[in-house]
Structure 1
């Protein structure tokens, strides 16, 4: 096929996994970044082409102009695949313009942002009868009374716009134990100009976190799906997956597929759920509207979401498929999992025996691949360079 796959962001293993998933199918992959620095994903042998674009936030219009100019030079419209939330936001903002030059699964401008924004997602889920954690907003009447009566302590202060919050604080939420800590978290958020909400913590250890990963075609019907169970996250308790296994949980399909179809979603989405340890109910936590951290695991168990996206958009969709058995296979981001394990053991949430037993599974590594070692070598050089600069200061 003449259609190239343009991958936005290769300074993280999501972009690397996307390049590999397409490259093994002999698709021409184009790694787009704003800098050569730390873009270890572009060192993959499956990366066909590298280009440097203006920064997607600092020079947004120039970035869009660059993408359009690139597409105009091609013999066929490229498939556009963002690998970071910030890229998704920009694509959504300029969706109508970009769709004239690129193949993009979503057709409704604003829907990407609506499901990524915690406030609008909460309203959308409630409208469609999907459970979400109890939430209090800053400007509600009797704010502190509602915190005491509905939410309770400890609770979380959660950003409406996750990418901006993570960029500022290097964490996904603030966990607060009392009113004093709540006020401090609200002050920090206000000073940073970031809107937040306060939510109840759904009871249950990190292994109560689950994902429903799905592709929806241009008729907004789920054609491919996998369910997973997290074991460890980093930062611990409220972070990203570092050790997660594929696990067949049909209830997640029943809730997740219906919701995504009802809202007219198209393309890949990952819904994160948490199972209430006391009631057994699944609560929707967030939606990732781009290729997920777990992508290599999903590929290893038989669902190649980047390639599914590519094939449908280029007019030759793949046959529907779901993973409806347990494969005893786990995604493993070794570098951050080591940090997570230290935290879990230090806080008494896991024992060394728990950790060792969990590792007795087939692995889908975040970065390492015997057939494609250069990205891992580049990653290790990057980490070593950062540690050296810290020790020198």
Structure 2
């Protein structure tokens, strides 16, 4: 049986395992977290290896890959987290002697994951980005005082490092005193800014109407094999978070900009580019690039574009799989997250009953539930149910 290696088997990892499994490709799942590591339970997982907190000690996963190099030689390693991307990029040269590594090298990945450098490159080629400030001292911050509009966002340029330390992605700041206090705390009084903190303009308007995504696969010869666009409908958490409902939709105005940016980067492989429409000037502004499969990859598969298999065919089989169109108006639903946040945050979201119900009534793809592969769904709900019961009892 043909196989791939999956680094971390949470919800995204499981969707990749399932997309490849239905093409007859098994998965070796390497995982470390306790919660939501559900890919190991899939019928398409042929092996699983637990390395607790292995991205905190990357030597553990490297040791495993080197010990298994003879047995797994020529197998493709697929990252399903930002830490996995960084690990593969940093170790690309040594791993490529034994494995197929789809992740670009460290120079390109560093440019992409560091929003400060990414925004600078985008501006240089005429692509709109949110307004940002990056003070590196208290004097520089004071000089900006009259140029910052509140509320604003305080967010990390290096999100993958920030998310491993904190359980939120960014902070909404309402006053200059609040900004100073939090900036000093997060940069250790400007002495150690490990996250490359940025003050970022807030683009007005709800993400559910204005946040869109362009996803694509460019093969090793530079040919665009497939692409599609989608819209983020609901998030976890509601204001600034990961999508829990997404919808396939043709979005005018982002294809050309996305291809221009990827061309400038010399990018190959799968990527997702996130944009937000700014009603103040009528432009889509670049938010970020994800150089890995994204949380709603199941939506792409449901719309007729199996990106994990397109990547496998390109890099392992040396075969081009082209897809020229995608199904529109298909919803992707993360069942657990949508139910949870609908119950907890419906007042904050101010959505009607029909707004909540519409994705469930139309064409849809469920993130986890699969009647032919039930155990991952069962394990996720069992884990969360047990945790909620434990908290309730305490």
Tell whether 2:6 aligns with 1:7.
Answer: yes
Superposition deviation, residue 173 in structure 1: 0.6
- Residue 26 of structure 2: aligned partner: 28
CA shift, 1:187, in A, is: 3.2
Q: Would you say the 8 A contact 1:132–1:284 is kept in 2?
A: yes
Q: What is the aligned partner in structure 2 of residue 228 from structure 1?
A: 230
CA distance in structure 1 between the aligned counterparts of 2:176 and 2:218, rounded to whole angstroms: 43
SS at structure 2 position matched to 1:391: helix
Separation in structure 2 between the aligned mates of residue 343 and residue 128 of structure 1, nearest angstrom: 43
Could you tell me the TM-score, scaled by structure 2's length?
Answer: 0.91
Judged with a 3 Å threshold, the aligned counterparts in structure 2 of structure 1 residues 344 and 145 are, in CA distance, closer, same or farther, namely farther
387 and 213 in structure 1: CA distance in 2 versus 1, 3 angstrom threshold: same
Quickly say closer, same or farther: Cα 1:186–1:103, change in 2 above 3 A: same
Q: TM-score, normalised by structure 1?
A: 0.92
RMSD across aligned positions (CA): 2.2
Q: Shift in Å at residue 344 of structure 1? A: 5.6
Cα shift at 1:343: 6.2
Residue equivalent to 2:113: 116
Is 1:77 aligned to residue 74 of structure 2? Answer: yes
Matches within 5 A, 1:268-307: 268-307=270-309
Q: Gaps spanning 5+ residues in structure 2: where?
A: none
3-state SS of paired residue (1:187): helix
Shift in CA distance, 338/62, structure 1 to aligned 2, threshold 3 Å: closer
Deviation at 1:119, TM superposition (A): 1.8
Q: Pairwise mapping of residues 118-267 of structure 1 onto structure 2 (< 5 A)?
A: 118-139=115-136, 142-146=140-144, 148-149=146-147, 151-191=148-188, 194-207=195-208, 208-267=210-269
| Of 307, 314, 317, the match for 2:316 | 314
1: CA distance, partners of 2:145 / 2:387: 41
CA contact (8 A) 1:93 1:110 kept: no
Distance 1:215 1:68 in 2: 29
Q: Is the 8 A contact 1:54 1:60 kept in 2?
A: no
Q: Does structure 2 conserve the Cα–Cα contact (< 8 Å) formed by 1:274 and 1:285?
A: yes
Shift of residue 126 of structure 1? 1.8
With 292-301 and 160-169 compared, the bigger mean Cα shift is at 160-169
State the shift of 1:261 in Å.
Answer: 2.0
Aligned to 1:17: 15
Counterpart in the other structure of 2:338: 337
Query: Does the 8 Å CA contact 2:29/2:45 hold for their aligned counterparts?
Result: yes
Report the 3-state secondary structure (helix = DSSP H, G, I; strand = E; otherwise coil) of the residue aligned with 1:73.
Answer: helix
Matching of residue 346 in structure 1 with residue 347 in structure 2: yes
- In structure 2, the residue matched to 1:328 is 329
The residue aligned with 1:367 is 368
SS class of match (1:384): helix
Q: Is 1:387 aligned with 2:385?
A: no
Between 121-130 and 188-197, the greater mean CA deviation after superposition = 188-197
**8 Å contact 1:36–1:52 — kept in the other structure?**
no
Secondary structure of the residue aligned to 2:187 is helix
- Give the Cα separation in 2 of the matches to 1:148 and 1:236: 30
> Structure 2: how far apart are the matches of 1:166 and 1:30?
26
Q: Using the alignment, how far apart are the partners of 1:320 and 1:258 within structure 2?
A: 20
Query: Given that residues 103 and 291 in structure 2 are in contact (C-alpha distance below 8 angstroms), is that contact kept between their aligned partners in structure 1?
Result: no
Query: The residue matched to 1:66 in structure 2 has which SS?
Result: helix
SS of corresponding position for 2:172: strand
